[in-house]
Structure 1
Amino acid sequence: MSPSLTSPVSGVRKSTRVVFIARFTQCYTVLVFFSPSLIVHPEEDRKYRSAKFSKPVPLPSVHDEAEVDLTVVIPAYNETKRMPAMMQSTLAHLTSSACSARSYEILIIDDGSKDGTSNLALDLAAKNPKIDIRVITLIKNLGKGGGVRHGMLHGRGRRLLMVDADGASRFEDLELLWKAMDKLSPDEKQASIAVGSRAHLVKTEAVVKRSILRNILMYGLHTILRIVGVGHIRDTQCGFKLFSRGAAQQIFPYQHLATWIFDVEVLLLAKQLQIPVAEVPIQWHEVSGSKLNVVTDSLQMLKDLLILRANILLGRWKAPPRSKR
């Protein structure tokens, strides 16, 4: 066959490849532009205050040896109204007989609040001098995911609990997560996660009485999450999750998202690393005063999920291979 007969076909194929490469490059550039980088904290963020010290003290690292059995990480943004009741129930359980053999610390991460949340937290620390309450005040607001990440990276616990400051979750259900983790990883050095779940409450008054819009968005989010790759977890967004120290060490240094949907990235990183996850039904109730804007934050979540999925598919966001322990 003469060159003149094959050249048009070759030209079309070459042109198609050029167009594909150009479009891929454009999409990749847009993705890189909109993708957040790993959070780098200023020196002020890497210190804490407590009732024991008059000046800020440097924070330890999650990569150090554990010093207590449990770290409670509480992200807080403008929570002077809701946090006192939540802290009361938290301290009541931690000082009860159920936790008598367990050492612990509480990290309150003030995510750039403007209502005196840090002062309230320090006042609580002063009123409970026998309890190790550490207050970290971030210079600027990062988002709930940024606050949780920062606390997890500086906890001293063998296990680290993330819990919302609104008190929507029943703190006593920590024991359910604790038992589930014991079953997942009898060896305390093994990476594992136990997540609180509200999936069993979907048809109860706790969820049914919410607005129609919130429920429509909830079901829509669940559909998207199955597409993204975390369909095996029925409730990814519950703010009550327990991590072994090994899981925290492997996941949180590589978390990019600081917004509401950060939980999904954390669970996807766990899936990549083959870290076992137990989903545990817990008690939960709606608490007024949520900072979540149903419409705007839902759109932000959708955008973040698309960015997350694209970065994972392209291998841009991933944690190093799981180390053998």
Structure 2
Amino acid sequence: MDHPLLYGFLALLVVGVVCVYLALLFWSPPPIITRPSEKNYRSRLSPEKPTPLPTLSGPSEVDLTVVIPAFNETSRLPSMLSTTIDHLTSVSAKSKRTYEIVVVDDGSSDGTTALSLKLAGEYPGSDIRVVTLEKNLGKGGAVRHGMLHGRGKRLLMVDADGASRFEDLESLWKAMDDLGPGDAPSFVVGSRAHLVRTEAVVKSLNITPNSQRSVLRNILMYGLHTILRVVGVGHVRDTQCGFKLFSRAAAQQIFPAQHLPTWIFDVELLLLAKELGIPVAEVPVEWHEVAGSKLNVVTASLEMLRDLLILRANHVLGRWGPSRSKTQ
């Protein structure tokens, strides 16, 4: 190859690499900022006056923290909270397990905070803390915020829609016991993989028994599975179930390093756990579709593809990862 052609090729290569890197910087989400008001919570005992939140870096004070991200959830939260508290109080009566519930209002416009405080007053025996984010971050940002301020020896993230059967917490709890000592880092994932092709999933996808998925949905499904393997979490069959349990030691390492505030943040948590050498168990849980989902399958899938590529690129380049995290 002539020198001018070689130099031209190298110049184009450099320009291409620079353009890709600039595109990565442009598409990568900015650091998640915690505003002063978001470092406080309100509760039944202090519905008007904000109280400072504890931090995850401190010692545990209760056995379990339940983090509920909530964005415009006035219609679904009452039923979900009732089921949650029924189970927690039943277990507490038998085993003396202490708990707190942290509802993170992710910038709602429908009065989710006011309703959460009202519900807190209806359950005087439960420690329900309500945190209000000034602006909508996304589910990942809301979960991260709640986790960074939880007091539990173990911390559970659970969706506000009540789609997961809360009693399955005990299966996750046992699986965590089996992973190792209580103070060791561990992470248990609730999984719906065993429900594939069952009536619950068919209904959630609006698929009649005699119909077929669209070509686009099939392409998206296989594309996502392929990218998950590329990202490095292909060993987990269901990355997206909103029912996950963390030991405090695992949460202290994972959540300060989380960058994605969008709904695909679960994959980042699993990737961080893998990089940190934190053992992960996957446990089957029951799940049912609940009306009122705000998720557009096609749009969300395209956003997921984008965010997964951003996630992988940032980890490969060393911009993100455990070593880049800062203590909150």
Q: Same fold (TM over 0.5)?
A: yes
Q: Distance in 2 between matches of 1:148 and 1:96?
A: 25
Q: Distance in 1 between matches of 2:102 and 2:291?
A: 23
Tell me the secondary structure at the aligned position of residue 134 of structure 1.
strand
Q: Distance in 2 between matches of 1:228 and 1:320?
A: 18
Map 1:35-74; keep pairs closer than 5 Å. Answer: 35-53=28-46, 54-74=48-68
Q: Distance in 1 between matches of 2:217 and 2:286?
A: 19
Give 1:3's aligned residue: none
| 1:127 pairs with one of 122, 128, 133 | 122
Q: Which runs of 5+ in 1 are unaligned?
A: 1-7
Tell me the secondary structure at the aligned position of residue 261 of structure 2.
coil
Q: Distance in 2 between matches of 1:231 and 1:39?
A: 27
Q: Distance in 1 between matches of 2:229 and 2:79?
A: 35
Tell me the secondary structure at the aligned position of residue 43 of structure 2.
coil
Cα displacement (A) at 1:215: 6.1
1:57 corresponds to which letter in structure 2?
T
1:40 corresponds to which letter in structure 2?
I
Which 4+ stretches in 1 moved above 6 angstroms? none
Is 2:198 aligned against 1:195? no
| Deviation string, structure 1 residues 242-287 (Cα, Å, up to 9, x no partner) | 0011111111111111111010111111111111100000011111
Give 1:26's aligned residue: 19
Judging changes above 3 Å, is the alpha-carbon distance between structure 1 residues 321 and 81 closer, same or farther for their aligned structure 2 residues? closer
Give 2:82's aligned residue: 88
Is 2:272 aligned against 1:269? yes
- Check whether the contact 2:257–2:324 (CA below 8 A) recurs between aligned residues: no
| 2:302 pairs with one of 299, 303, 309 | 299
Tell me the secondary structure at the aligned position of residue 323 of structure 2.
coil
| Deviation string, structure 1 residues 27-52 (Cα, Å, up to 9, x no partner) | 11111111112201110111100011
- Check whether the contact 2:217–2:298 (CA below 8 A) recurs between aligned residues: no
Count of equivalent residues: 314
Give 1:4's aligned residue: none
Give 2:256's aligned residue: 253
Judging changes above 3 Å, is the alpha-carbon distance between structure 1 residues 19 and 277 closer, same or farther for their aligned structure 2 residues? same
Give 1:158's aligned residue: 153
> Pairwise CA RMSD of aligned residues?
1.8
- Check whether the contact 2:91–2:97 (CA below 8 A) recurs between aligned residues: no
Q: Distance in 2 between matches of 1:219 and 1:245?
A: 34
Is 2:99 aligned against 1:104? yes
Cα displacement (A) at 1:151: 0.4
Tell me the secondary structure at the aligned position of residue 242 of structure 1.
strand
- Check whether the contact 1:38–1:254 (CA below 8 A) recurs between aligned residues: no
Q: Distance in 1 between matches of 2:311 and 2:79?
A: 35
1:256 corresponds to which letter in structure 2?
H
Give 1:78's aligned residue: 72
Q: Distance in 1 between matches of 2:318 and 2:267?
A: 16
Range 62-71 or range 295-304, more displaced: 295-304
Alignment TM-score, normalising by the size of structure 2:
0.91
Q: Distance in 2 between matches of 1:90 and 1:215?
A: 33
Q: Distance in 1 between matches of 2:82 and 2:31?
A: 34
Q: Distance in 1 between matches of 2:145 and 2:157?
A: 11
1:297 corresponds to which letter in structure 2?
A
2:293 corresponds to which letter in structure 1?
S
| 1:116 pairs with one of 105, 111, 116 | 111
Tell me the secondary structure at the aligned position of residue 260 of structure 1.
coil
Q: Distance in 2 between matches of 1:245 and 1:55?
A: 28
